[in-house]
Structure 1
C-alpha cells in the first residue's frame, strides 16, 4: 500500500495556527483527505504530517482519532491509520435508501410531536442559508456541508427519538466518503428544498413533512449520482 510524502501531496497545506491548534490540525488533515491529498486506501504518515504542519505528533494523532469516528480513516493494529475507501455506487444508493426511510420518518415526527415553539427555535437557526465561497476543493463547500448536517440533525433531534437521531447522524457523516465529487451547484436547490421541509414541519403536517424530506433526499441522491457517471 502506497505511502506518500506529505510535502508531495498538496501545495495548499499550511502550518497549523497555534491559537486553535487541535481544531486546525483536524480541519487541515480532513481537507487533505476530502481533496484526495492523501488518496483513498493510503497510509497516513503521522511523522511527515507533523513536520509539514510544524506541530508535534500528538495533535495529529488526536485529529486522526476524530477522523476515525467521522469514518474518514481506519485504524488497524500494528499498521496505523489508512484513509477509508470511497463508496461504490451501490453502497451510495443503499446509503440514501436508508436515509430516505429514517429521515422522512424523523421529519414527520418532528412536525407532529415537537412543540411549535421548539420547532420554531430549532429550525430558525438550522435553516439559515450559506453560499459556496468560491475556493476550490473541500474548503469551498465546508461551511455548506456543516450547515446541511446541522439542518438534518436539528430535525432528527425534534423527532424525540435518540436512537433515530444517532442513526441519522452516522449516515450523514458517511456522506463525507463521497469526497471530492460534491456537486458545486447544489446550494440553491438544497436551500429551496430545505425551505419546503421547514414549512411542512412548522405547519404540523406530518405527511407533508415526510413528503418534503423524501423529495429532498431523492433529488440530492440524483445530484450526487452524477459523480459516478
Structure 2
C-alpha cells in the first residue's frame, strides 16, 4: 500500500506525531518535486521546515531509501533518486510482464469471496478519481492503480510474487515521471489547456481513465474465474502502461 500522492500545501506534522507522518511529509515533497530528482537533502534544513529534530528525519529518509526514493552516499548523505531512464523503465515493465499476468491468472483460480469483495471495493474507490478536480485526479488514480496491482499480487496466493511486486515501488516512480512531465509542460507552454493535452495519454472522455477501464476488464476475468483471460488482459494492460509512460522517460530520464 502506498501513501497519498496528492500534492498541495505541505501539512507540517506536530512534534508528537509518529515517524509515519514525517515519512509521509518527506515523501510528498519528493513526489511533488519540491525536493527535485537528484537534489541533495539537507537534513538540518528539512528538520527546521518540518519543525522536528533531525532524528525522525533521518529515520524517515532511511525508510525512503528502502523505497528507492532517496539514496545515501558516503560523506555526502542523502540525495533524491533520479527519475527512471528509458532503459530502467523498460526493464521495470519487462519484469512486471513476467510476474503480474501469472498473478492475475492465479487470482482468478484461487480467490476467495473476501478477495472478490476487496477487488470490487477497490474498483469503486478508483471511480473517485473521475469525480474530482483534474489537478488532483491523476494523483488519486495513481493511488488506486498501486492498490489494485498490489491486491492482484496478493490474491495470487504467492508471498514471493507479492513481495517482488511491492519492492519495485513502480507506481511511485511512474507518478514522479508524470509530475516531471507536467512541470515541464507547465514551464514551457502558455497553453492553459496543457493539462488536458497531457491527460490525453491517460484519459478519454468516453471511457474515463484508461487504466481504470482496463482494471475493470481484468477484475471481471478474475472474478469469473477465467485465468487465461485475466492473464492476457493483465499483460495487455502492462504493455499499454509502458507505452503511455515511455515518452516521459525518454524526455526526462534519458536513455
Over residues 31-64 of structure 1, what are the superposed CA-to-partner deviations in whole Å (9 max), with x where a residue is unaligned? 2212222222222111001111212212212221
CA-based RMSD of the aligned residues comes to 2.4
Q: Aligned partners of 2:19, 2:243: CA distance in 1, in Å? A: 36
Structure 1 residues 184 and 59: CA distance shift in structure 2, 3 A = farther
Over residues 157-209 of structure 1, what are the superposed CA-to-partner deviations in whole Å (9 max), with x where a residue is unaligned? 111111111111122x1342341425645361111111001000011111000
> What secondary structure is seen at the aligned counterpart in 2 of 1:150?
helix
Trace 1:1-229 onto structure 2 (pairs within 5 A).
12-17=9-14, 20=17, 22-115=19-112, 117-128=113-124, 129=126, 130-131=128-129, 133-134=132-133, 136=135, 141-171=138-168, 173-178=169-174, 179-181=176-178, 184=199, 186=202, 188-227=209-248, 228-229=250-251
> What secondary structure is seen at the aligned counterpart in 2 of 1:195?
helix
Contact kept in structure 2, 1:35 and 1:180, CA below 8 Å: no
> What secondary structure is seen at the aligned counterpart in 2 of 1:181?
helix
Q: Aligned partners of 2:134, 2:102: CA distance in 1, in Å? A: 36
> What secondary structure is seen at the aligned counterpart in 2 of 1:131?
helix
Q: Aligned partners of 2:10, 2:151: CA distance in 1, in Å? A: 33
> What secondary structure is seen at the aligned counterpart in 1 of 2:247?
helix
Q: Aligned partners of 2:162, 2:70: CA distance in 1, in Å? A: 23
Q: Aligned partners of 1:110, 1:13: CA distance in 2, in Å? A: 39
Q: Aligned partners of 2:110, 2:225: CA distance in 1, in Å? A: 8
Following TM superposition, by how much is the alpha carbon of 1:21 offset from its aligned partner in structure 2, in angstroms?
A: 5.2
> What secondary structure is seen at the aligned counterpart in 1 of 2:178?
coil
User: Per chain length, whose mean CA-contact separation is higher, i.e. which structure has more relative contact order (CA < 8 Å, sep 6+)?
Assistant: 2
Following TM superposition, by how much is the alpha carbon of 1:217 offset from its aligned partner in structure 2, in angstroms?
A: 1.1
Contact kept in structure 2, 1:193 and 1:216, CA below 8 Å: yes
Structure 1 residues 192 and 203: CA distance shift in structure 2, 3 A = same
Question: Number of residue pairs matched?
Answer: 215
Contact kept in structure 2, 1:119 and 1:202, CA below 8 Å: no
Any stretches of 5+ residues in structure 2 without a counterpart?
A: 1-7, 180-197, 204-208
Following TM superposition, by how much is the alpha carbon of 1:145 offset from its aligned partner in structure 2, in angstroms?
A: 2.2
> What secondary structure is seen at the aligned counterpart in 2 of 1:87?
coil
Any stretches of 5+ residues in structure 1 without a counterpart?
A: 1-10
